[in-house]
Amino acid sequence: MPPQTSSSKLRRSPAPHSLVPSLLDWFAIAARNLPWRRTLDPYAIWVSEIMLQQTQVKTVIPYWERWMRELPDVAALVAAPEQRVLKLWEGLGYYTRVRNLQKAAQQIVAQHAGHFPRGFDAVLALPGVGRYTAGAITSIAFNAPNPILDGNVIRVLTRLFGIRGNPREKTTNAQLWLLATRLVQAAADSQPSTLNPQLPAPCSALNQSLMELGATLCTPQNAQCPQCPVQSLCAAHREGRVGELPNLSPRASATSREFHTFVMERGGKFLVTQRPAGGVNARLWEFPNLEVTGLRLAPETSAKQLLQVTIRCEPLCEVKHTITRYRITQRVFRVRWPSAEASVPAHTRWLCMPELHALPFTSAHRRILCRVAAGI
């Protein structure tokens, strides 16, 4: 038997245009009713797309609704003080995203007279906007035939087309972008769905149908193939390879890190510090803390190192969280400040509870603050 060629493999894959009607009709009836799907405002769609990076839909909904109430357009975002913008983002994490949103809004005012640009290249030139996000905004807001490729779409396309290569490798990634392009271009040539007159325009609907399929049916585990609108055309389903695709290399295992964190009270006020500009979680607030990974320090020793005072530490709680590849444990201690005269470290402030609640905190320290406020 002759060796299998790439063209014979492709012959077993569905033609992009054959998938489009089923995807559009399915999206017409199955699309979740998400608040950012009720608008064509590119600003609102942009904010939703940035929030949805690394964050689940159900988490994003209340954040997006509050953001749109408080900062409804580019001008409002440009005018907002940084601390207010950070407060609106507090808890979503990955704060570079929100800093880039404000930088991009400033660029829109400077270069586009405050009007959100329509062209793909102009959208791609905004800080924090990559190829996926530019494709999502321009296809959803303007029905432009620009492709999208994120984790959900990669999963759907590798399974539908039976692609065995690692999607993180250059050649396979380029192949997936090409397929995504062919699909959205085929949608541009198609008739709008008759099943739902409210359905978005075809390029928008096609891209969103791929995202939706990956989020709801073609999931990493337990894909719901019997309910899938394109099951009859799916190479992975036909060949029994759904569980094998996408062929992603295993991620590096998480690294454990440990911090000692000190909740210090003096006369109803608590000592907090603002993180420096330019680093991780820049200009967010937190309780004084010290990384002790591998050091096996007693909390009194780390408190002395951090605060230059000798104090007795009483365990308060433990807060665990994960950021990118780090599994972080905060061991939190309650301490009484030794005397009113003792000087506090630079960049720290004593603040009362209402003042603390008004500040943007990092997610872990917000949890610590809530526990302290609840008296736990």
Q: CB of 41 within 8 A of CB of 226?
A: no
* CA-to-CA separations, 349 to 175, 224, 259, 300, in angstroms, rounded: 54, 53, 20, 21
Residue number, 179 or 271, with CB nearest to ligand SF4: 179
Q: Quote the crossing angle between the two packed helices 202-216 and 151-160, to the nearest 10°.
A: 90
Containing H/E element for 332?
A: strand 326-336
Q: How far is the CB of 284 from ligand SF4 (least distance, A)?
A: 39
Q: How far is the CB of 276 from ligand SF4 (least distance, A)?
A: 46
Cα 145 from Cα 337, distance rounded (Å): 62
Residue 212, both tokens: 């939706």
Q: CB of 203 within 8 A of CB of 163?
A: no
Cβ contacts of residue 156 below 8 Å, gap of 6+? Answer: 210, 213, 214, 218
Q: How far is the CB of 133 from ligand SF4 (least distance, A)?
A: 24
The binding site for ligand SF4 (CB under 6 A) comprises: 156, 159-160, 217-218, 223, 225, 228, 230-231, 234, 236-237, 242
Residue number, 223 or 359, with CB nearest to ligand SF4: 223
Question: If you ran DSSP here, which 8-state letter would residue 308 be given?
Answer: S
Cα 260 from Cα 237, distance rounded (Å): 50
Residue number, 154 or 223, with CB nearest to ligand SF4: 223
Residue number, 141 or 234, with CB nearest to ligand SF4: 234
Q: CB of 218 within 8 A of CB of 159?
A: yes
Residue number, 86 or 148, with CB nearest to ligand SF4: 148
Amino acid identity of 197?
P
Residue number, 237 or 366, with CB nearest to ligand SF4: 237
Q: How far is the CB of 160 from ligand SF4 (least distance, A)?
A: 5
Prior bond to 117 cis, omega within 30? no
Given 49, 90, 212, 286, which residue is catalytic?
49
- Residues comprising the chain, all counted: 376
Is 198 exposed, middle or buried, given 0-12, 13-18 or 19+ CB atoms closer than 10 A?
exposed
Cα 152 from Cα 168, distance rounded (Å): 14
Q: How far is the CB of 337 from ligand SF4 (least distance, A)?
A: 58
Residue 22, both tokens: 């089923």
Q: How far is the CB of 200 from ligand SF4 (least distance, A)?
A: 21
Does 286 participate in catalysis according to the annotation?
no
**What is the DSSP code string of 47-101?**
HHHHHHTTS-HHHHHHHHHHHHHHS-SHHHHHHS-HHHHHHHHTTS--THHHHHH
Residue 226, both tokens: 């019997």
Q: How far is the CB of 283 from ligand SF4 (least distance, A)?
A: 43
Residue 199, both tokens: 């359905």
Q: CB of 315 within 8 A of CB of 331?
A: yes
Which residue numbers are catalytic? 49
